[in-house]
Amino acid sequence: MLHHAELQIHAAWLRWLQRPAGHYLCDWLQERLDTMLADEFGYFAVQCGMPNLDGLRNNRMSHRIILQHPLEELPSQHPCIWVDSFAEMPLASNSVDLLLLPHVLEFSPDPHAVLREAQRVLRSEGRLVIAGLNPWSLWGLRELSLGPWFGNSLPLDCRMLALGRLRDWMGLLEFDMDRGRFGCYRPICDTDVWLRRWAWMESAGDRWWPICGASYLIGAVKRSKGMRWVGLIPGERQGMFGRAQVARI
């Protein structure tokens, strides 16, 4: 079962998503996921967490499932399964064609274990999509510089993962990152009024500091190494298919 500390982490994250900045983040993710996942084909698509984000709504796979914690009791049009930890998914190995992890790694006690579990359940050439918070952004800078004095705007246990570090982890697990996007360039605000006033920073940030968005969305493909028949070694054909050699006495 979930430990009390982990329950508190997820409860704080769910509360933060109800704030104006949380709605701003969810709206950006929803728009990008609708475009990114529209042409992904297969049979089984799974989203882990954030049931208020319908990341699979524009995908055309026949089976779309939501894995969620018991605290995330939100209505969803897809079948839901309660799990204690995303590092232990109740899914068979090599059974999933598309796996979506929206801001799961930042709030996991062991994010590398979650990636290993994703590698286990995905089929060969399956698609992994990860949304994360970027520490090299206005949001990350605000938490690092002003958080100790004025309080954290993000949940206290949020551990942002830099994209370079995440890329190294995925490379070790045989994931080939082939697409990505940064977004959410506005400062973190507590009201919708101020978020609208900073709306001009979306186009400016996408042009002048594109890698400094508060959120990133990346896609990767699971590559499985296998063996391939390349033919006989030159000069060995006679030894393999010729007459058997008998020792003379």
21: nearest Cα among 133, 180, 165: 133
Candidate from 39-48, 53-62, 73-82, 183-192 with smallest mean pLDDT? 73-82
Q: Render pLDDT for 54-97 as a digit per residue (tens, 0 to 9).
A: 899 999 898 999 998 776 666 567 778 888 888 889 999 999 99
Res. 33: pLDDT tops 80? yes
Please tell me the predicted confidence (pLDDT) of residue 1: 47
Higher pLDDT, 77 or 170: 170
For the entire predicted model, the pTM comes to: 0.83
Res. 121: pLDDT tops 70? yes
Mean pLDDT over 28-53 rounds to 91
Beta strands 80-82 and 122-133 are unpaired
What kind of fold does domain 4-241 have according to CATH?
Rossmann fold (3.40.50)
Q: ∠ CA 24-27-29 to the nearest 5 degrees?
A: 110
Give domain limits for the chain: 4-241
Highest-confidence range of 42-51, 92-101, 135-144, by mean pLDDT? 92-101
* Dist. CA 91–CA 121, nearest whole Å: 6
Higher pLDDT, 4 or 128: 128
